[in-house]
A and B are shown apart, each in its own frame.
Chain A
Amino acid sequence: NAGVMQNPRHLVRRRGQEARLRCSPMKGHSHVYWYRQLPEEGLKFMVYLQKENIIDESGMPKERFSAEFPKEGPSILRIQQVVRGDSAAYFCASSPPESEAYGYTFGSGTRLTVV
């Protein structure tokens, strides 16, 4: 397992279209986190998921945004009816379920550009 895999690396969408961002966590990691980052800024938490469960979605806008982590397959962050303000880098991270000594392993991100 090469680590956390995110695809696509770059995604261009027109206003009003849907964006689907995928994240495959590291093998053995059952916790997935999605973050958003604007240029020159830190990470903004969006949502925390475990397999088939959303644990905390307090950082995710109530409208247009949704996330899932199904029993099989990658985690998906879905943005409906994208607007220019959705343009950002979206990072996924995963961690194992045990021990706070473990940090997060991040993917390389998906850079979403809304035109």
Chain B
Amino acid sequence: TQLLEQSPQFLSIQEGENLTVYCNSSSVFSSLQWYRQEPGEGPVLLVTVVTGGEVKKLKRLTFQFGDARKDSSLHITAAQPGDTGLYLCAGRRDSNYQLIWGAGTKLIIKP
């Protein structure tokens, strides 16, 4: 059973379009992180959200943590080919240092 469900699993869209990917769980997380992984490389941390309802923006990327801290979303505005990659969400429960990982959303932005 996947504690963190990511959707969609795969998304291919044209440059300039907007998109949202989701990370959902029935469990409460004390914090949640989003990573992007490019082919042949390790994941790179994009953002950490800690407070329920928190919204963080990173240029064209907007991250939201659900009020109940069970879910999160990543919205990309005017997607560019450089946004192509595997997007992974990961959550921490209580004071456990370990992260629980989603299976990822593979995003392809076509020029």
Contacts and interface: CB of A to CB of B under 8 A. Distances in A.
A106 B35 CA distance: 10
B45 to A, nearest CB: 4
Interface string A83-101: 0000000010101010011
A29 B61 CA distance: 28
Given A40-B106, A56-B98, A100-B97, A108 B48 contact: no
Given A43-B88, A93-B42, A100 B95 contact: yes
Given A33-B98, A93-B42, A106-B44, A100 B92 contact: yes
A103 interface: yes
A104 B48 contact: no
A42 interface: yes
B13 to A, nearest CB: 18
B31 A100 contact: yes
What's the interface size class on A, roughly? 20 to 34
For this complex, into which size category does the number of interface residues on chain B fall? 20 to 34
A4 B97 CA distance: 18
Nearest to A35: B101
Nearest to A39: B39
Contacts of B98: 33, 45, 48, 56
A7 interface: no
A56 B90 CA distance: 18
A42 B50 CA distance: 23
Interface in B30-53: 30-31, 33, 35, 40-45, 48, 50
B102 A42 contact: yes
Nearest to B89: A42
B97 A31 contact: yes
Interface in A54-98: 56, 91, 93, 95, 97
Interface of A: 4, 31, 33, 40-43, 45, 48, 56, 91, 93, 95, 97, 100-109
7 contacts: A42-B101, A43-B101, A48-B97, A100-B92, A100-B95, A101-B50, A103-B45
